[in-house]
């Protein structure tokens, strides 16, 4: 019985949690252009920084074709 009460209390508490956007990156160019290899790592909403870890590299490129 006690476990049921704890589970119900946890579900009620989880249902009242609100999400908020802290930082969002669009990775689009600051001024729109048609060049697919440009972009920006500056956040579009909020503040923050992007960084690469583990020796990986990054580039802006065309991922898919709209057509």
Residues 13-58: tens digit of each pLDDT: 766 667 777 888 888 887 878 777 788 888 888 898 888 899 998 8
Q: Could you tell me if 34 and 46 are in contact, meaning their C-beta atoms sit under 8 angstroms apart?
A: no
Total-model pTM: 0.50
For tokens 């057509």, what's the residue? 67
**Cβ atoms of residues 24 and 45 within 8 Å:** yes
All residues at 6 or more sequence positions from 60 whose CB lies less than 8 Å from its CB, including other chains: 27, 36, 37, 38, 39
| Position with higher pLDDT, 60 vs 16 | 60
- Both structure tokens of 16: 């009242």
Length of the chain: 67
Q: Give 64's pLDDT tier (boundaries 50, 70, 90).
A: low
- What pLDDT is attached to residue 61? 76
């Amino acid at each position: 019985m006690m476990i049921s009460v704890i589970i119900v209390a946890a579900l009620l508490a989880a249902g009242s949690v609100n999400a908020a956007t802290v930082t969002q990156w669009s990775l689009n160019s600051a001024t729109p252009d048609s060049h697919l290899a440009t972009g920006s790592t500056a956040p579009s909403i909020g503040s923050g920084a992007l960084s690469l870890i583990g020796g990986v590299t990054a580039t802006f490129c065309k991922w898919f074709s709209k057509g």
